[in-house]
């Protein structure tokens, strides 16, 4: 009888995509997906280390899995991802019953390491940098079991060359390496042929995509190669693939946002009217301390340019509250910029120091926890006010909605997303398959979702099967 597995994912979209590839490798090795951990022979924890409580979440989960492993011979625990890359041998020091620890640069070896651990004992394998091989470097080049079959992540770049003071990503993901242009377009064509209609281009800093490829071409003797990002060109190429109805991307960096990217978003019909545009702080002093490379005014100017080209653009953001040294004046400036930006929604975070980052060494400037929490609550008021206003503006409009499936709270209600990435709940006259497109009239706007009434079916789902991958946030 085939062994079974469960993959639990913590963290960002890059981790989710890595989990799809790990699942694909395990399936290729003969394992089958289990309904739950209780039924599984293998549990893979694909970890994140962005937030301070990521460590507690991992080691707490491993504590529960110790009992699970002891209940049946032959069970294996695998720890992968960013926290594994950071902690290395510490994972097995804290949890010696873990069978395999692998990092962000050797996802391609997950099944191999599991086999070696079964015969030779526990293994920790952490590579310091990406292997220069397309199938090793880019998760999209590996087999996958995707969470959904109507949309897909597509890795265009790994690593990050930025030096943001609060971020551990460059330490655990390495330097920026862009995937070859044609490889990306070829993958998207294959996805479209399989019935995928929506793709999300993934990278730590997507709008700098291709700069390293151009530099390498120039150094290789191509005098026509201009050392510039190729992201706008990539949007055009991916967006023109037959069968691809929606193109999304995450995450860009404001300092690298160029006019040609906005122009491509506005001119390529399949590129969605949604921009995730991380602000982090509205204070120039804090932005400088973070090494973000832009000012608040420059951020707002670029945002205004984008909205001029795309009047129906929805904008989301990331904001950190309580960065070391943040004063009340700094925070008030963040409130002012957030209010001026009129975000559709925001991911807001209390600063948490990550060992290995510059900000973690600023203990003498840490903001009192009570002060930071009070500021966080004030920021949420501003964000939710603009989110509610944005959603109420959409009442009466007929939106194209990509069906995701039954609502988590009420299975009799169908949920989906607009091109602006807004969650819509509605009730069609008959069940719609995930991946279908419907016209829905918006009848109510709440801070975090929209309510609508079904008007028509635009396109039925074209994909074949939905294959779930467990996700734990």
**What's the confidence (pLDDT) of residue 145?**
57
Domain boundaries, the chain: 4-125, 148-272, 286-393, 398-459
Task: Say which residue the tokens 């709270």 belong to.
Answer: 409
pLDDT of residue 148: 61
Q: What is the 3-state secondary structure (H, E, C) of 239-277?
A: HCCCCCCEEEEECCCHHHCCHHHHHHHHHCCCECCEEEC
pLDDT at site 86: 87
Q: Which two tokens stand for residue 443?
A: 């009848």
Residue 466 has what pLDDT?
A: 44
Q: Determine the pLDDT at residue 135.
A: 47
Pick the CATH number of 286-393 from 3.10.50.40, 3.40.47.10, 3.30.750.200, 3.90.1150.10: 3.30.750.200
Question: What pLDDT does residue 468 have?
Answer: 40
Please state, in angstroms and as integers, the Cα–Cα distance from residue 392 to each residue in 400, 443, 445, following that order.
17, 9, 5
Domain 398-459 falls in which CATH fold?
A: OB fold (Dihydrolipoamide Acetyltransferase, E2P) (2.40.50)
How many other C-beta atoms lie within 10 A of the C-beta of residue 220? 8
Please report, for residues 266, 300, 382, 406, 459, the alpha-carbon distance to residue 277 in angstroms, rounded to integers and kept in the order given.
Answer: 16, 11, 17, 29, 30
Beta-strand relationship, 437-445 and 450-459? antiparallel
Does residue 8 sit in helix, strand or coil? strand
DSSP string, 120-145: H--EEE--SS--SSHHHH-GGGS---
Condensed to tens digits (0 to 9), the pLDDT of residues 190-237 reads 999 989 999 999 998 999 999 999 998 888 888 888 888 899 999 999
- Which of left, alpha, beta for 257 (phi over 0: left; psi -120 to 50: alpha)? beta
Q: Which CATH class is domain 4-125?
A: alpha beta
- What string of pLDDT tens digits covers the 473 residues of the chain? 789 999 998 877 777 888 888 988 999 899 999 989 999 999 999 988 766 667 778 888 999 999 999 999 999 999 998 889 888 999 999 999 999 999 888 888 899 999 999 999 999 999 877 655 544 555 555 555 555 679 998 989 988 899 999 988 777 778 898 999 999 999 999 999 989 999 999 998 999 999 999 998 888 888 888 888 899 999 999 999 999 999 999 989 999 999 999 999 999 999 999 999 999 999 999 999 999 999 999 999 999 999 999 999 999 999 999 999 999 999 999 999 999 999 999 999 999 888 889 999 999 999 999 999 999 999 999 999 999 999 999 999 999 999 999 998 999 999 999 999 999 999 999 999 999 999 999 999 999 999 999 999 999 998 655 444 444 44
Q: Do 148-272 and 286-393 share a fold?
A: yes
CATH T-level topology, domain 148-272: Transcription Regulator spoIIAA (3.30.750)
Task: Find, among 206, 200, 199, 219, the residue nearest to 179 by Cα.
Answer: 206
Residues of 390-412 as b/e, b for ≥16 C-beta within 10 angstroms?
bbeebeeeebbbbbbbebeeeee
pLDDT at site 137 = 52
Instruction: Label residue 435 exposed, middle or buried (CB < 10 Å: 0-12, 13-18, 19+).
Output: buried
pTM given for the model:
0.82
Q: Are 188 and 238 in contact (CB under 8 A)?
A: yes
Of 448, 414, 416, the closest CA to residue 431 belongs to 414
Note the pLDDT of residue 467.
Answer: 42
């Amino acid at each position: 009888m085939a062994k079974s597995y469960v993959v639990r994912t913590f963290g960002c979209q890059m981790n989710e995509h890595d989990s799809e590839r790990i699942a694909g490798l395990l399936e290729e090795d003969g394992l089958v997906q289990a309904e739950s951990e209780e039924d599984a022979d293998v549990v893979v924890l694909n970890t994140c280390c962005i937030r301070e409580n990521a460590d507690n979440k991992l080691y707490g989960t491993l504590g529960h899995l110790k009992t699970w492993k002891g209940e049946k011979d032959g069970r294996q625990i695998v720890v992968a991802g960013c926290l594994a890359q950071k902690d290395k041998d510490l994972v097995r020091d804290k949890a010696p019953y873990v069978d395999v620890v692998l990092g962000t640069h050797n996802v391609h070896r997950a099944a191999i390491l599991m086999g070696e651990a079964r015969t030779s004992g526990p293994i920790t394998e952490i590579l310091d940098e990406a292997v220069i091989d397309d199938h090793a470097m880019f998760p999209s080049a590996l087999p996958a079991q995707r969470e959904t079959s109507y949309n897909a992540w597509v890795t265009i770049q790994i690593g990050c060359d930025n030096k943001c003071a609060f971020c551990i990503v460059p330490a655990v993901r390495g330097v920026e390496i862009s995937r070859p242009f044609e490889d990306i377009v070829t993958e998207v064509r294959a996805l479209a042929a399989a019935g995928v209609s929506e793709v999300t281009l993934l990278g730590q800093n997507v709008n700098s995509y291709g700069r390293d490829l151009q530099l390498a071409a120039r150094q290789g003797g191509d005098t026509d190669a201009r050392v510039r990002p190729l992201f706008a060109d990539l949007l055009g190429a991916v967006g023109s693939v037959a069968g691809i109805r929606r193109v999304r991307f995450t995450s860009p960096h404001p300092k690298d946002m160029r006019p040609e990217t906005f122009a491509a978003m506005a001119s390529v019909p399949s590129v969605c009217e949604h921009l995730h545009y991380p602000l982090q702080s509205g204070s120039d002093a804090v932005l400088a301390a973070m090494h973000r490379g832009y000012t608040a005014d420059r951020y707002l100017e670029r945002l205004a340019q984008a909205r001029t080209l795309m009047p129906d653009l929805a904008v989301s953001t990331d904001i950190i509250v309580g960065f070391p040294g943040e004063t009340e004046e700094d925070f008030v400036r963040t409130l002012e910029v957030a209010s001026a930006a009129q975000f559709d929604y925001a991911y807001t975070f209390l600063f948490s120091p990550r060992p290995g980052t510059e900000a973690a060494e600023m203990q003498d400037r840490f903001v009192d926890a009570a002060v930071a929490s009070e500021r966080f609550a004030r920021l949420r008021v501003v964000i939710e006010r603009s989110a509610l206003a944005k959603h109420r503006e959409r009442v009466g409009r007929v939106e194209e909605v990509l069906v995701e499936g039954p609502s988590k709270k009420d299975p009799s209600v169908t949920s989906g997303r607009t091109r602006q990435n807004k969650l819509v709940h509605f009730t069609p006259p008959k069940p719609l398959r995930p991946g279908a497109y419907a016209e829905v009239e918006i009848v109510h706007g709440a801070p975090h979702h929209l309510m609508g009434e079904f008007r028509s079916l635009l396109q039925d789902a074209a994909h074949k099967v939905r294959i779930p991958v467990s996700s734990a946030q």
